[in-house]
Every structure is written in structure tokens, then in C-alpha cells.
Amino acid sequence: MSDYPSGLAAHFAREVTSLCHCWRLITRDGAVSGFTDHDRPLLVNGTLFEPESGFSASEARRSLGLAVDTLDVEGALSSQRIDAEDIAAGLYDGATVETLLVNWRAPEQFTSIRTMTVGKITRADGHFVAELESMAHRLDQQNGRYVTRRCDAELGDARCRFQLDQPAFNGAGVVEAMQGLDTLHVSGLDNFEPGWFSFGVLTWSNGARVGRTGRIVDHRITSEGVLLTLQASVGPEIATGAAFTVVAGCDKSFAACKKKFANSLNFRGFPHLPGNDAAYAYVSDGGNFDGGPVVP
């Protein structure tokens, strides 16, 4: 049984109560927002909870053991803090949601009844439904390393250690035209060889997507000029004249790490890992057993 503050516990004993739910939303960048199913704003523990979002919650269950509990929270996209484009861009993915039970007549009487994280979010007809998952869902996530031939570090991070601020690995350009939804005809990258920015990151410098990033799927040079194909994403339309910066991409292979970046000493994969054929093969006469790598 949960322990409640004395004032709130005494309120529970009354024949008529004045209780509501409040949700404190904390995104991964640390921004805090508050929402409530009450019909007026409430200031609770230093956070202002607004009612305009029309939040409502489904039945919440708490299971014994390691099962992942879920709860759906539904709301209207009427709050100035919740934007459909931010949801589509993944701003709220993995955010923490703390549910409070509050006496709206005396907001200082409250208790935290659960803390969950945002899983899947669906949108339709100006509404959204966010699936909240209990902390047990982290037990289903990878917490260690996978042993693979390709590198599992991100180019330029603390494990990769490559210095991306070198001019040869950075570029800037402008969108000259669009080919479809995700292919850009750009200027400013003529001095780079094809494929140099494939798997790299593009950051928008102005326009409707300013500050947002996108992964480059393909970088090629055609008779029409330089083309960049971005990973499909949802967001404002990309307009001609939008400026951007790009950093070189890595396909996570040992060959690229060694040849393109001269960073083979920091490669975070296992390039000589034998495949299934080698692992299940029988020892045969004439084999080379000198201790060298099975995969060159």
C-alpha cells in the first residue's frame, strides 16, 4: 500500500473529495511541461499544470514481477506546448511522465503515484495518444555491446575519438531544387567526392527546419549536379534556398575507418569475427592454423 501525506490521506476519508490527475512531462533535453485533467490551471510543487490540453488517461494496472505495465494518455493538440510537428520529429520519444494525484482545492496536498516513459505516440484528427511504459521496459533494451563486424560507435563520439572539426570532413550548402520529398539538388559541395557524406548528418541552418538534423542516405554527383538523399522524416516542407551544414559519414566498416578516417586503432567493432560457416565448419587437413585471422 502506498504511503500518502497526512493531509491527502485525511482528504481521502471525506465523503466528497476534490481530486484530479496531473502529468509532469520531462523531455530528454530537460524541458518540463505540466498538464491536468482539471478545468483550471494548478500550481503544484513549482510546476504549472495547464488544462487546455484535454488530457485523459486509460485504466492503469500495476503487475507483479517483471511484466511491463502500460497506460494510454490521450490529449488534444490544443496546448501551445504540444505541437504535431514536434511529436512527428520524436521530441517526446523516451520522455519521462510523472503522474500526480492532487487535491485541486488545496494543491499542496499531492502525491506521485507512478513514473513512466513515453513509448509509441499515434496522431489522428487533431488528437494524440501516448503509450506510457513502466520502467520495467528498460529490461528489454540492449544494455551491453553486440559483437559484430561493424563498429557500434557514432562517428566523432567519445568512443570513436575522431575529430570531426577538420575542414575536410565538414561542408555547407544551399538547396537549389527538390527531387521528390527527400532528394535535394544542392550547391556548395562540389569539391567533395561522391559518397563522402553518405551516412553523415545534415543540420539545417535556416528555414522551417532550422536546428533539426537528418541522416544522409546517399551522396552522389550526376549531370544535374550534387544530390543528397535524406532518410525519410516528417516535418515542415524543405524549401529552395534553405541552408545547411553537413559532416562526413561512416558506414561503420573497418575499411572506411582505416582508409577514410585513418582511425583504425579506435575501431569499435570486430572485423575478424568469423561467420556462421566458419564457426560450424569441421577441421580439415591442409587448413591454415597459424593463429591468424580467419577473415582478412
Q: How far is CA 57 from the centre of its chain?
A: 24
Residues 119 and 173 in one domain: no
- Please determine, for residue 220, whether its predicted confidence score (pLDDT) is greater than 60: yes
Residues 38 and 118 in one domain: yes
- Residue 77, pLDDT score: 42
Position 290 in a domain: no
| pLDDT (average), residues 206-218 | 89
Position 23 in a domain: yes
Closest CA to 149 of 271, 26, 35: 271
- Give the tens place of pLDDT for each residue, 86-133: 776 677 778 888 889 999 999 999 999 888 888 777 766 666 677 777
Pairwise CA distance, residues 249 & 106, whole Å: 55
Position 119 in a domain: yes
Closest CA to 37 of 83, 95, 97, 104: 104
- Please determine, for residue 173, whether its predicted confidence score (pLDDT) is greater than 90: yes
| Class of residue 236 by CB neighbours under 10 A (exposed 0-12, middle 13-18, buried 19+) | middle
- With a CB cutoff of 8 Å and minimum separation 6, the contacts of 102 are 19, 20, 21, 22, 36, 38, 42, 44, 49, 109, 110
% of the chain residues with pLDDT over 70: 78
Q: Using the 3D structure, point to which of 247, 265, 281 is the last residue of a domain.
A: 247
- Please determine, for residue 296, whether its predicted confidence score (pLDDT) is greater than 70: no
Position 144 in a domain: no
Q: Cell 516528417 sits at which residue?
A: 234
pLDDT tier at 67, thresholds 50, 70, 90: very low
Task: Give, rounded to a whole angstrom, the gap between the first and last alpha carbons of the chain.
Answer: 61
φ/ψ of 99, rounded to 5, equals -95, 125
- Residue 202, pLDDT score: 95
Position 147 in a domain: no
Pairwise CA distance, residues 229 & 223, whole Å: 16
Q: How far is CA 23 from CA 36, 50, 75, 138, 229, in A?
A: 6, 10, 12, 21, 39
Residues 27 and 127 in one domain: yes
Q: Using the 3D structure, point to which of 227, 247, 267 is the last residue of a domain.
A: 247
Answer for the pair 78, 53: CB distance below 8 angstroms, yes or no: yes
Pairwise CA distance, residues 161 & 228, whole Å: 26
Domain that holds residue 204: 167-247
| pLDDT (average), residues 163-180 | 92
The set of cell numbers assigned to 130 is 501516448
The domain that contains 236 carries what CATH number?
A: 2.40.10.190
The set of cell numbers assigned to 183 is 532528394
- Residue 63, pLDDT score: 46
| pLDDT (average), residues 58-72 | 47
φ/ψ of 11, rounded to 5, equals -65, -35
